[in-house]
Structure 1
Amino acid sequence: MPAKLKTVTLGCKVNQYETEYVRQGLVGIGYEDASEGETADLCVVNTCTVTNEGDSKSRQIIRRLARDNPQARIVVMGCYATRAPEEVAALPQVAEVVVDKRELPDLLGRFGVVDIPTGLSNFGDRSRAYIKVQDGCLLRCSYCIIPQVRPQMYSRPVADILAEAERLVDNGYREIVLTGVHLGHFGVDSNFNRPREEWLRLSSLVRDLCRLPGDFRLRLSSIEATEVTRDLLDAIGEAGDKVCSHFHICMQSGSDSVLRRMKRRWGVQRFLDRCRLVRETLDRPAITTDVIVGFPGETDEEFEQTCQACVDAQFSKIHMFPFSARRGTPAADMPDQVTKVVKGERGKRLAEIEADLRRDYYATLIGMPLQVLAEAEATDAPGRLIGTSCRYAPVEFNGELSARGTILEVTPHAAAEDRLLA
């Protein structure tokens, strides 16, 4: 009887990719995914340590898996495992702790995988597939623990990325999302001592991927403002519908003084100038962002500056996070920590601004043909499908469920609160 496998992933797209990499390697030697309610012989947990809550949730999941799968070995990987390996190893039934993601091929080898994969061939039952192209971060933002647990920056070989993308497209995935811990630094580690004209950049990778045959589109995951270069914008503009006209550019705050305390690398005006360049270069692009509210010492005036910057940037979506003091980071020990009540009030205000900005952006897309990845039946509208447009706006439209996973062209005629209607 085949051995049964359970995988659990916490955190980011990079973690989701790495879990799938391990899962596919194990399935290739005979493991089968355990069904709901079925006990597993092996559990793999990919942890997150971005917040203290991430650590806590990781521990809870490991303990629950040990309780529900009493005979299982548990392998723990991810950023929490890297940060506190002894703490993780002491949890019930943990047989192995992977402290460095570069060890994943070795992990598979210890389980008997002979043909170590260089990438993925599928991405489960998802409508889109992620490709991790880069790892590691050298920045030192005062609120972030990730550079401490993923400090080694490296980029995957272009040939491996292209071959992986070809396999995924051949297996039916119509949207490929490029992701990394610091996506915009793709290639930086390989450019030392190379003449500038030979430098490897994200823009060159995008151009290489766009030359691949097949019916698919690319989307970039989170990127820093300084890395949205003219060359990258040119590459996306040249690609037409092959690359989604969507940038997720991390702002974090719209106050120069807060950005200095965060140890970010630019001021607000430079960020806004980069957003303006995106809008001037591309046709009605979606610009989304992350914002932290209630950073230590954030005054009412500084928060108002953030609100104004969001309006000026014309974001179509804002991922808002109340500041969470992460032990081990400078921001956790800063004076003038903002109260939970104030963070809640500011979050509510920012959500209202986001709703207005989203409504304004959706209005610009009415009557515009959009490429939409059909993903599921709309739960509140039987006989209608819901999908994600190239410009990251959800779209509801008529269609059969058999169209799931395909890219269709639809033209929205109206906008609801949270989606376009076509």
Structure 2
Amino acid sequence: MKSVALHNLGCKVNGYEMDYMQQMLQEKGYKIVPFDEKADIYIINTCTVTNIADRKSRQMLHRAKKKNPDAVVVAVGCYVQTGGEQALLDEGIDLAVGNNKKKDLIPILEEFLAAREEGTADMDKTLEGRTVIDISHTCEYESMQLKRTAEHKRAYIKIQDGCNQFCSYCIIPYARGRVRSRQMEEILEEVRTLAGNGYKEVVLTGIHISSYGLDLDGRTNVGKGEDFPCDRLLALISEIQKTEGIERIRLGSLEPRIITGKLAEGLAKMDKFCPHFHLSLQSGCDSVLERMNRKYTAGEYYERVEILRSFFEDPAITTDVIVGFPGETEEEFAETERFLEKVGFYEMHVFKYSMRQGTVAAARKDQVPEDVKAARSDRLLVLEQKQSAAYRERHLHKETSILFEEEKEIDGKRYQVGHSKEYIRAAFETEEEVSGQILKGQFTQMLKPDILLFMKM
């Protein structure tokens, strides 16, 4: 059987889908080899969120072709979904498979391989348009069922695809299509399978999980100033809570407008739920949020944070921030900086605005110089380190529980390393093999800026 090398780029959804593609290949008998080895087939699950992501996708495709010029190089996902004819002209690509076609990878690949053996190597890279389709109006959720994931203790579960938000800097609605939600029973079946295979924690992920169920309720969008409906998401989490073997439930990135008293109260009653909320912000300045087409104000965002803090004791609030968005003035940046200080996050992912062709923001003439973006990023990274350290320090000597995931050497010593429910990284110096176990104890001291020392009770 032919050998296959796999490489994934991009988000957790891409990671989930790559795990599924690998599972299908292994079940069909293909030999999986490391990407740096010579292989018969290379499959690159691509990303297109920025121009830089496009470039990285092309680099990996060309690296594969250089490794073995006779190999079949398959470009999967967002880069070929949005790149159109220009992407298909890339000489590093032999076969292109777009989004909503990943589940059909095996028959697509085998049809291509058969045609190649018959001497029709010059056949169309999309099998005459059948492997990259227009998903802008599809209602079909691409069904997949995972048995195992690349992570050995924590499983990411994809619950929806697509996005209807159309932020002015983002290409994802064009790459992933509109919101499509997965049926609850199908999700629960996968959760039960993963629990049976030893996974103790599940993370619900998707392109825009706050939109979960919108399409099932016959809705297409949520207007500015409206709350996202939380009933279906809350019901799903409640059912996962009942699953034997699952001890932790975590959520991926959330739209701030889904945070209501109803959702927070419901989640706070579930003992398996992890109080770790990633609420994407992007800017703390209302005028920048308006240009970004984000449909909330900084004040509304802060209200949602306060709701969470009223139901959970010091929950972990993390976020994304873009600096140097087109037109961002020094005064607007300073307003964002003050807002971030006011909120007090556990962690902030700070990004310098990266132009993405095909978006509204990329066409603006008031692009911010790179040196200005870099300086603003540096300022926020200093603030991030300060706030992150303060959050960890507040959890010293408090009772906690850690899911241990791996053994790691730190400063010449061997530790068992894992995470708390708040996703605080912990290190436990022990000779015991505790990987996959959840232990109760407390944090005793800072071991590294991002790691606390754990002591078992």
TM-score by length of 2: 0.86
Cα deviation for residue 269 of structure 1 reads: 0.4
Cα deviation for residue 126 of structure 1 reads: 3.8
**1:421 matches 2:456:** no
Query: 182, 196, 206: which one pairs with 1:156?
Result: 182
Cα deviation for residue 40 of structure 1 reads: 1.5
Number of the residue aligned with 1:175: 201
CA distance in 1, matches of 2:169, 2:432: 43
Cα deviation for residue 401 of structure 1 reads: 7.0
Unpaired runs of 5+ in structure 1? none
Q: 2:326 is aligned with what amino acid?
A: P
User: Equivalent residues in 2 for 1:5-404 (5 A)?
Assistant: 5-35=4-34, 38-92=37-91, 94-99=93-98, 101-111=99-109, 118-192=144-218, 201-240=232-271, 242-381=272-411, 382-400=413-431, 402-404=433-435
Query: 421, 434, 437: which one pairs with 1:406?
Result: 437
Kept in 1, the 8 Å contact 2:48–2:54? The answer is: yes
Kept in 2, the 8 Å contact 1:7–1:45? The answer is: yes
Deviations 1:234-285 (A, max 9, x none): 2321111x11110000000000111111111010000001001111111221
Q: 2:400 is aligned with what amino acid?
A: L
Kept in 2, the 8 Å contact 1:237–1:281? The answer is: yes
Cα deviation for residue 200 of structure 1 reads: 5.5
Kept in 1, the 8 Å contact 2:76–2:102? The answer is: no
Q: 1:77 is aligned with what amino acid?
A: V
Q: What is the percentage of aligned positions where both structures have the same residue?
A: 38
CA distance in 2, matches of 1:128, 1:318: 22
Number of residues of Structure 1 aligned to a counterpart in Structure 2: 413
Kept in 2, the 8 Å contact 1:63–1:91? The answer is: no
Cα deviation for residue 369 of structure 1 reads: 1.9
Deviations 1:386-410 (A, max 9, x none): 2221101111222347322332223
Q: 2:241 is aligned with what amino acid?
A: C
**Which deviates more from structure 2 when the two are superposed, residues 248-257 or residues 117-126?**
117-126
CA distance in 2, matches of 1:401, 1:55: 44
CA distance in 2, matches of 1:338, 1:399: 50
SS in structure 1 of the partner of residue 409 of structure 2: coil
Kept in 2, the 8 Å contact 1:291–1:320? The answer is: yes
Distance 1:395 1:327, change over 3 A: same
Q: 1:213 is aligned with what amino acid?
A: E
CA distance in 2, matches of 1:341, 1:154: 40
Deviations 1:295-319 (A, max 9, x none): 1111122111111111222200000
Cα deviation for residue 117 of structure 1 reads: 7.7
Once superposed, what is the RMSD of the aligned Cα atoms?
2.1
Deviations 1:206-230 (A, max 9, x none): 1111111114311111111001233
TM-score by length of 1: 0.93
Cα deviation for residue 112 of structure 1 reads: 6.5
CA distance in 2, matches of 1:365, 1:284: 9
Q: 1:10 is aligned with what amino acid?
A: L
Cα deviation for residue 75 of structure 1 reads: 1.9
Higher helix fraction (1 or 2): 1
Q: 1:362 is aligned with what amino acid?
A: R
Distance 1:143 1:3, change over 3 A: same
Deviations 1:325-356 (A, max 9, x none): 11111111223221111111111111111112
Deviations 1:80-132 (A, max 9, x none): 11001433333346332122x2222333334569xx98410000354321111
Q: 2:78 is aligned with what amino acid?
A: C
**Which deviates more from structure 2 when the two are superposed, residues 249-258 or residues 379-388?**
379-388
Kept in 2, the 8 Å contact 1:49–1:80? The answer is: yes
CA distance in 2, matches of 1:148, 1:187: 20
Kept in 2, the 8 Å contact 1:166–1:212? The answer is: yes
Cα deviation for residue 53 of structure 1 reads: 0.8
Following TM superposition, the consecutive aligned residue runs of length 4 or more in structure 1 with deviations greater than 6 angstroms are: none
Cα deviation for residue 286 of structure 1 reads: 0.1
